[in-house]
Amino acid sequence: MTRRRLLALLAASAGAAALAACGDATAPTPTAGTAAAGATRPAGSSAASPAASPAAMAMTAPAMNKSGGKLLRMSRNAEPNSPFVGWASEDNATLFVLINIYDSLFKTSKDGQSVEPALATKWETSADGLTWTFSLREAKFSDGTAMTAKDAKASLDACRIGMKSGWTETYKAIKDTVVVDDRTLKIVLSVPHAPLLSELAMWTAAVMPADMAVAVDAGTYDATKTRGTGAYFCEGWKRAIPSCSRRIRTTGRRTTARTRCASSTSRRQYPPSQVAGCGDGRH
């Protein structure tokens, strides 16, 4: 089914986000990996479990946008604190947005005890455990371009050795990534590494277009304008305006005006003659 290209606006005013659906096509049923690859190996402690994450979102019914598509609006108690780039993100508010926009080679199972195929459909490993070969499914980014092994390599390289990555230590066992063809990616390890599949299921290893991965790492791309293979994409982000409240207290001949905002509190004292109307919306 052709993916619908829809406009998305992520409006984080007071923690609100809006994401546009990319389409209703479901991914093909994945093929289990080889026994040597350990397809049902329990996820390592470093792997995230997005499906089990307590998103705690208050969601409204989808609204129609100008292009005729649907907008998904979500309200959270915190706005994203990182760019929408897996390897440069660390806070949960960003993670919960990222997992709806980007896919990794694998995903955490619903029970959090293993990993399942996502962009990778099958995989095999060499006898010495150092070379892993992954077959990738056909998928498209939100701009309609096809996802290939070149994109997976560029994203994984930015994650494991990129200047903006905060997760290089996690992926240090990867010695090299090799594009065999458009649908085949080979990962070469320096030493056998049991948690590899779990680490490839983390949001940090999310796949984006190769040109975007390089530009993001160079700091020349606005990461809030996303291009992923996930169900949604974001075309902009309006940061929240802190909500403030004012409290007026009069003690004798002095009046204290106290303003409390999300991140700071200020206090000033005024004589009574200067505080007429305070607290009633006129000052």
SS3 annotation, 114-178: CEEECCEEEEEECCCCCEEEEEECCCECCCCCECCHHHHHHHHHHHHHCCCCCCCCCCCCEEEEE
- Helix H or strand E segment including 210: helix 210-218
Give the domains, in start order, of the chain with CATH numbers. Answer: 10-238 (3.90.76.10), 246-274 (no CATH)
CB within 8 Å of 189: residues ≥ 6 apart = 129, 130, 131, 132, 173, 174, 175, 196
User: Along the 283 residues of the chain, how does pLDDT read in single tens digits?
Assistant: 433 333 333 333 333 344 566 654 444 444 444 433 333 333 333 434 344 444 444 444 445 555 556 776 766 777 777 778 889 888 888 888 888 899 999 999 999 899 999 999 999 999 999 999 999 999 999 999 999 999 999 999 999 999 889 999 999 999 999 999 999 999 999 999 999 999 999 999 999 999 999 998 788 878 778 899 998 888 777 666 554 555 555 566 665 555 555 444 444 444 444 444 444 343 3
- Helix H or strand E segment including 213: helix 210-218
Rounded to the nearest 10 degrees, the angle between the axes of helix 210-218 and helix 149-161 is 20
> What CA–CA distance (Å, rounded) separates 102 from 230?
5
Burial class (CB in 10 A: 0-12, 13-18, 19+), 111: exposed
Contact indicator for 102, 83 with CB cutoff of 8 Å: no
Contact indicator for 87, 164 with CB cutoff of 8 Å: yes
Angstrom distances, CA of residue 246 to CA of 120, 185, 274, 279: 54, 58, 16, 7
Contact indicator for 18, 8 with CB cutoff of 8 Å: yes
Angstrom distances, CA of residue 32 to CA of 25, 201, 227, 244: 21, 15, 28, 53
Whether pTM > 0.85 for this model: the answer is: no
